[in-house]
Amino acid sequence: MDLNYSPSELAFQAEVRGFLADNLPRDISDAVRHGDEVGKEMSERWHAILSAKGWLAATWPVEFGGPGWTPVEKHIFEEECCRAYAPRIVPFGLNMLGPVLQKFGTKEQQDSILPRILSGEDWWCQGYSEPGAGSDLASLKTRAVRDGDHWVINGQKTWTTLGQHANKIFCLCRTNPEAKQQEGISFILVDLDTPGIEMRPIRLIEGGHEVNEVFFTDVRVPYGNLVGEVDKGWTIAKYLLSHERTGIAGVGFSMQSLEEVKALARKVRRNGRPLAEDPLFAARIARAEIDLEAMKITNLRMLFKAQEQGAPGPETSILKIKGTVIHQELKDIARRALGPMAAPFPGHVTEGNIMFGPSDTEMNAAKYFNNRKTSIFGGSNEIQRNILTKAALDL
């Protein structure tokens, strides 16, 4: 057993760190650190920098333009990106549609679509969830009916993350209402410029706009936009969901949050001493740090297993459950540290030019509330437990 990175992994880590130091634009890392919205322009600029280096599509094989990293290298890359306050890679094209097309797409689809993901020409969003189909995704109702060379789509998708920036959406549609639920679904690509599509913003708990509703009324798309076989979209959907999602534990983000919380506890002064000297507060940080220390190893153990066996097991659900809870706890501590200084609604905190706590903390309450989403999406933590109940415990 050896818990250390190998010499080549260490060299890789140093290379990534050096690259980020030289190439991550300061305004972008500042925005991430500050909790500002990383808008379309910044995301695209950062994607382009990584793309030029050949590091954008971390999960893609070399033949499609990926860097050909091992799971551990992917992990190192993500960890370093978090340390440097790089923005998250927008996953819909790169980590979702890309792998799907590589496995299920036609040669023509691969050739025409994958390069546009790498170049940033297309911004994809994910049209899975519907108002009536969340955890029970297979009950989705959006209909696609074949009409000659076209599909005609009617229905509604919701929770579409960053759809406001996207020009394309991949959708799960019902193509055979007679068949068993899972057997009548198809995976269809849609251009968001197509007539009949309307996108409306959904405002989230903390006030931000990151998700949308998308309405489809007689939307006609070419028949060739189907990926894989008709009525076999569920296999693709499952592949996408269970496809190795590096960073599902969010260890890098939690490490980032932990460092922030420690620095904050040293900076915030309460009754003549730093908050870090308050044993109750320090205990909160320590508990989270201990959980995270274990999670780092749990994560590496599972990466190692995936590397040995070629595929991750159902244990990734453990990473999702515990990883999100640790991160949410750290966000709670960061908000808590400010006490009443966390009260102002974001956007008002600089009014009158007075400080409300140490710099870069004015979004702490907003981030705490926003992060409640992580235990809900991507398969809620309850659904992950259902998976483990069966797959890990055979109950």
Contact flags string 259-298 toward other proteins, x per CB under 8 A: ----------xxxx-----x-xx--x--------------
Cα–Cα distance measured from residue 302 to residue 318, given in angstroms and rounded to the nearest whole number: 10
351: contact with other proteins by CB under 8 A: yes
Residue 261, judged by CB atoms within 10 A of its CB (0-12, 13-18, 19+), counts as buried
Cα–Cα distance measured from residue 334 to residue 33, given in angstroms and rounded to the nearest whole number: 13
Q: Which stretch binds other proteins (CB under 8 A): 5-13, 98-106, 231-239, 381-389?
A: 381-389
Contact 160/125 with Cβ under 8 angstroms? yes
148: contact with other proteins by CB under 8 A: no
Residues in a beta bridge with 170: 126, 189
Catalytic residue among 183, 244, 289, 315: 244
376: contact with ligand FAD by CB under 6 A: yes
Residue 244: active-site member: yes
Q: How far is the CB of 39 from ligand FAD (least distance, A)?
A: 17
Residues 126-165 that bind ligand FAD (CB under 6 A): 126, 128-129, 134-135, 159-161
Instruction: Please state, as a whole number, how many other Cβ atoms lie within 10 Å of the Cβ of residue 69.
Output: 18
Please write down the long-range contacts of 143-148, taking CB distance under 8 Å and 24 or more positions apart.
143/173, 143/174, 143/175, 143/177, 144/171, 144/173, 144/174, 144/175, 144/186, 144/188, 145/175, 146/175, 146/223, 147/220, 148/223
- Structure-token pair, residue 371: 């992060």
Residue 66, judged by CB atoms within 10 A of its CB (0-12, 13-18, 19+), counts as buried
Q: How far is the CB of 380 from ligand FAD (least distance, A)?
A: 3
172: contact with other proteins by CB under 8 A: no
Q: Which does 186 bind (CB under 5 to 8 A by kind): ligand FAD, other proteins, none?
A: none
Cα–Cα distance measured from residue 203 to residue 207, given in angstroms and rounded to the nearest whole number: 6
Chain contacts with other proteins (rule: CB under 8 A): 129, 132, 134-136, 139, 158-159, 202-207, 269-272, 278, 280-281, 284, 332, 335-336, 338-346, 348-349, 351-352, 354, 356-357, 365-366, 368-369, 372-373, 375-377, 380-382, 385
Catalogue the active-site residues.
Answer: 244
Chain contacts with ligand FAD (rule: CB under 6 A): 126, 128-129, 134-135, 159-161, 211, 373, 376-377, 380, 382-383, 386
